[in-house]
Amino acid sequence: MLGGRLVLYASGDRAAYDEIAHVIEGFTQKHWYLGEFGNASRMKYVVNMLVCINNAATAEAPTFAAKMGLDTKQVYDHVTQSFGSSRVWEQRARMAVEGDYVSARGTYNISRKDAKIIGAEAAAVFSPALLFSVALQMHYSGMAQGFAGLDTASLYEVYRMAAGLPSTVERD
Amino acid sequence: MAMTVGIVGLGAMGGGIALTLRKNGFPVIGYDLRDELMVELEAAGGSRGKSPRDVAERADVVILSMPNAEAFHTVCTGQGGVGESGRKDLVVADTSTLFIADKAAAEARLKDLGITLLDCTVSGTRLTVLAGNLVLFASGDANAAKKMAPVFGGFTREHNYVGEFGNASKIKYVINLLICINDAATGEALAYATRMGLDPQETYRLVASSFATSKVFDQRGKLAVDGDFTSSRGFYGLAEKDARIIGAEATNCHAHVPVFSAALQMHEMGVATGFGKLDTASLFEVYKIAGGSPSTVKRG
């Protein structure tokens, strides 16, 4: 965020937004006005739902690869070039195969707080969130196992344990 | 001089490989049970084989692109198969997505006949290969892979040798596991947004430029919000074939794949509710139906 790459969504009274737009410009890379009050929150729920699913998928795939006996660093390179890649994969799968869960300093905040809101909002509008629910359970498992202070790339360790592979990290 | 390439299986992928090799100056001898596909190859300057055996007898190297294990075994070691060619030192590169056990069994039987089978996989569709963007993974005997390299270069953007027999299949399973998940995640997120009253097009644009995006979301998210489920000519083939192989291989090695399993259920629902012949971007519609909203999309 201090790198000046913050993205901001704004919604609600248009005149109020126009009035402070120049201030928003001062601390964001991009900002969007999304219409009626609440839409900025809704957009963030959608984004974080996908990040949560991608976090788990990014750990699930290299664990599957490791169980089949593949070299996970080689897998990282090939998957990153493939149609199966994602922004989360590019960043967190690299951390996972290198066993580095601290340098990005991402944490389990999505599951600690945002996910409860996302899940409740999805239930409120009766929108099925099958993958999100499963992915969230893996995040909860990670927190329960003591990874909460590490980057969510450490879901790889959660998956490894679930698959009977040894974990290599120290926990909080 | 370019090697003469035999290709058995001229379907969507095998046919695309044959046409691309022809375009790049390779003599091609093809075989398929469907006559119209042989006619298509002849129109592109290729020639017609009488059987897989005939193809193996006349070509320098052979590529297989088979739809299922039964056809694959017949072509390898069945009557009129490449195994009957008596060609010592022949290299056969199989590019099908199958269980590794099937490929390994054929590899062992062909080895006894002096023929080397390589386990290869390709990532992409017919359109990908025709555009020159195919990526290929090859595994198995290193010398055989080296011999195939100029031919692989004739129809791919990139070809990677990935070590011992079976590794090419395994890498493809990993990639397709992620594609299967991202397909469903794309539908799930867009349906959620729509259900909350967000504009689908605006949601697509913002998510595609966020950390939450994926290559699948970039491409299929756009198709989903445009309601375009036909122009890509995509379909639920991954769910109907590859995903079952991936699921079984994951079970075999005791990998834990809960998100993939959930995603696969949504793909199955897509097939069950009539979207099977459309692009998997239509999982957006499947999620709408699962959430009690009507889908107005015309189905097969």
Per-residue pLDDT, averaged over B187-216, amounts to 96
Contact A126 B195 (CB under 8 A): yes
Please name the amino acid found at residue B138.
A
Query: Mean pLDDT in chain B?
Result: 95
Q: Is the pLDDT of residue A168 over 70?
A: no
**The pLDDT value given to residue B233:** 77
- Give ipTM to 2 decimals: 0.92
Please name the amino acid found at residue A12.
G
Gap between the Cα atoms of A14 and A165, Å rounded: 54
Q: How far is A170 from chain B (nearest CA, A)?
A: 22
Place of tokens 């922004």: A87
Domain A38-162 is of which CATH architecture? Answer: Orthogonal Bundle (1.10)
On whether any CB of chain A is under 8 Å from the CB of B253, the answer is: yes
| A55 contacts A92 by C-beta, under 8 angstroms | yes
Q: Which residues contact A6 (CB under 8 A, 6 or more apart)?
A: A27, A28, A29
**The pLDDT value given to residue B300:** 66
Gap between the Cα atoms of B10 and B18, Å rounded: 7
A141-155 residues labelled b (16+ CB within 10 A) or e (exposed): bbeeeebbebbbbbb
Nearest to A135 by CA among B261, B187, B176, B88: B261
**The pLDDT value given to residue B294:** 83
How does pLDDT run across B110-157, given as a tens digit for each residue?
A: 999 999 999 999 988 888 899 999 999 999 999 999 999 999 999 999
Per-residue pLDDT, averaged over B164-187, amounts to 97
User: Among A61-75, A96-110, B88-102, whose mean pLDDT is lowest?
Assistant: A96-110
**The pLDDT value given to residue B268:** 93
Nearest to B170 by CA among A32, A66, A128, A116: A66
Gap between the Cα atoms of A86 and B212, Å rounded: 8
Share of chain B above pLDDT 90, in %: 88
On whether any CB of chain A is under 8 Å from the CB of B300, the answer is: no
Gap between the Cα atoms of A96 and A87, Å rounded: 14
**The pLDDT value given to residue A3:** 60
A-chain residue closest to B175, CA distance: A84
Gap between the Cα atoms of A134 and B181, Å rounded: 12
How does pLDDT run across B5-35, given as a tens digit for each residue?
A: 999 999 989 999 999 999 999 999 999 999 9
Token pair recorded at residue B56: 């193996």
Sorting pLDDT into bands at 50, 70 and 90, what band is A4?
low
Q: How far is B300 from chain A (nearest CA, A)?
A: 24
Please name the amino acid found at residue B236.
Y
Q: How far is B138 from chain A (nearest CA, A)?
A: 12
Token pair recorded at residue B83: 């195994």
Gap between the Cα atoms of A28 and A41, Å rounded: 17
Sorting pLDDT into bands at 50, 70 and 90, what band is B232?
confident
Gap between the Cα atoms of B169 and A71, Å rounded: 14
How does pLDDT run across A30-47, given as a tens digit for each residue?
A: 999 999 999 999 999 999
Place of tokens 């490449």: B82
Per-residue pLDDT, averaged over B39-46, amounts to 97
Sorting pLDDT into bands at 50, 70 and 90, what band is B97?
very high
Contact B184 A164 (CB under 8 A): no
**The pLDDT value given to residue B91:** 98
Q: How far is B54 from chain A (nearest CA, A)?
A: 36
A-chain residue closest to B157, CA distance: A81
**The pLDDT value given to residue A170:** 60
DSSP B240: I
Sorting pLDDT into bands at 50, 70 and 90, what band is A2?
low
B222-227: long-range contacts (C-beta < 8 A, 24 or more apart)? B223/B279, B223/B281, B224/B186, B224/B187, B224/B190, B224/B200, B224/B281, B224/B282, B224/B283, B224/B284, B225/B190, B225/B200, B225/B201, B225/B284, B227/B297
DSSP B3: P
Residue B297 vs residue B19, higher pLDDT: B19
Please name the amino acid found at residue A52.
C
Token pair recorded at residue B74: 């017949």
How does pLDDT run across B233-245, given as a tens digit for each residue?
A: 778 887 778 899 9
Residues of B in contact with A70 (CB under 8 A): 167, 170-171, 174
DSSP B139: E
Domain range summary for chain A, segments of one domain joined by +: 1-37, 38-162
Q: Is the pLDDT of residue B52 over 70?
A: yes
On whether any CB of chain A is under 8 Å from the CB of B206, the answer is: yes
Q: Which residues contact B112 (CB under 8 A, 6 or more apart)?
A: none
How does pLDDT run across A9-27, given as a tens digit for each residue?
A: 999 999 999 999 999 999 9
User: Among A2-6, A123-127, B285-289, whose mean pLDDT is lowest?
Assistant: A2-6
| B63 contacts B145 by C-beta, under 8 angstroms | no
Gap between the Cα atoms of B257 and A64, Å rounded: 8
Contact pairs from chain A to chain B, CB under 8 Å: 209
**The pLDDT value given to residue A103:** 76
